[in-house]
Structure 1
């Protein structure tokens, strides 16, 4: 990790609680995430069904394509919808996600502004079914769902795509969060490894810090020029409570939860991750380890969401 950490000598990283991949895997994922529960988050269709059953808001599911023959029925299936998102049920890192923002005659307009024919849409879905974007390359199915229209507060700090909020939840308590902002380099996707910006969030207030882009600190969005620091995330209390509830659904002690903010519907749970990455430490310019060990040392975690949210806020003080 260079660039954003240049102000911090390597020998001091440990003192600042920076957690590495091996420690994450051995001390938290292996210890707190039962392997049989992984399919509950690795399969987005299962995740959505579990969330709906629990009353957790998610983007509406318009349809599922499981076999090649169903691609022929897409025109009729999608006729009520001018815009939608196509994604692999077992995808990761934003791979294979296609965002359609409108129609142009018999074709579909992508978020980038380019146009995809019905044949190209079908070909993309066929690639999803083949397992091109799935974990392990196994055959997959394609989900077609509601396209989130992000909250207006993000208009000046996002490029094309929808920002999301990634929160690490440990033992049912949110311990760190970041806002992920799409850029031109990320092709409108909110994934850091594809070029999105990671922006730390103060758990206590829901206000953003400066951001990290390609391992460099940034205060403005490189494409829009909008100020990244000091943005107050709407519905912050609800977001923290929502992420805490997600832990209860899937029985994973160490969990990443992605929330999107729709301009009309408010917070929606997009997906969960049993192996959330560590770049969130870069975005917040602080380590996860101290907060994780603090929560690990609790004799019991409160059942009440309000108490868990209060504990989350206290972690960053």
Structure 2
């Protein structure tokens, strides 16, 4: 029975993990180029040098002594994002949406003291959130103000679009929609929704939440399908340019739509997962 299912999925064009690894990643992604995308600081600076728009980088904390200067780094900013440079799966990403009376607020309303933020930074430097648990650095950057197009089907956070690119050609795309279960993060494994996007039109299609097909967002009740992604051609072009940027042939490019700044590239993945299917 399982082999029959595998044959039917293959006939339908569904890409499996083994084939992804053997026929795409090993063939088209040179290992020596992985550091260009595994290190988000390096990716961001590479993109900036190529004129690709990214969220502004406020600073990088590389050693423990610099953690004590965190308040000076952010100045009077009331919102920002802290993320590990070599993290994965959204782990270690801390979104600050405001500050009051010496404390900071997360998007879920939880308050954080300066000491708690510093503790998070120390954990990041120690490698708690990094690939392989190796020592890392912490990035502090601009918090995206999302385009309102997804407001009716998103809970608190910033929806992002994952575009899979093969040899410079976008081949698959989906939008990841934050939910209450995901804590406002656009991460499928933490409970966000994934909605496929028609490449030709830029409209959302079927949505999946925790392996179940759904028609509406579980928190807002808004219909997940039929939403037109603004500036779709620009998003596709931005993603396609990342092939030349990295020299990698098979990549997943994460982009967002900012209310004022338009399309921004968040990161590039050399091992894009197959949930988009």
Fold shared, TM-score > 0.5 on shorter chain: yes
2:192 paired with 1:196: yes
The aligned runs of 1:17-166 (5 Å cut-off) are 17-166=13-162
TM-score w.r.t. the length of structure 2 is 0.97
SS of 1:99 mapped into structure 2: strand
The superposition leaves residues 57-84 of structure 1 with CA deviations (integer Å, 9 ceiling, x where unpaired) of 0000001101111111111111131100
Show structure 1 runs of 4+ deviating over 3 A.
8-11
1:296: which partner in 2?
A: none
The aligned runs of 1:129-278 (5 Å cut-off) are 129-278=125-274
SS of 1:147 mapped into structure 2: coil
1:239 and 1:66 map into 2 onto residues whose CA distance is 32
1:269 and 1:11 map into 2 onto residues whose CA distance is 36
SS of 2:124 mapped into structure 1: helix
Q: Name the Cα RMSD after superposition.
A: 1.0
1:119 and 1:245 map into 2 onto residues whose CA distance is 41
1:80 and 1:33 map into 2 onto residues whose CA distance is 42
SS of 1:240 mapped into structure 2: helix
1:121 and 1:277 map into 2 onto residues whose CA distance is 31
1:265 and 1:130 map into 2 onto residues whose CA distance is 33
The superposition leaves residues 216-269 of structure 1 with CA deviations (integer Å, 9 ceiling, x where unpaired) of 111110011111110000000000100000111000000000001001111000
2:222 and 2:147 map into 1 onto residues whose CA distance is 15
2:5 and 2:84 map into 1 onto residues whose CA distance is 41
Structure 2 unaligned runs (5+)?
A: none
Structure 1 unaligned runs (5+)?
A: 1-7, 282-317
1:262 and 1:73 map into 2 onto residues whose CA distance is 29
The superposition leaves residues 32-65 of structure 1 with CA deviations (integer Å, 9 ceiling, x where unpaired) of 0000000000000000000000000000000110
2:193 and 2:98 map into 1 onto residues whose CA distance is 26
2:57 and 2:192 map into 1 onto residues whose CA distance is 26
Q: How many residues align?
A: 274
1:170 and 1:10 map into 2 onto residues whose CA distance is 23
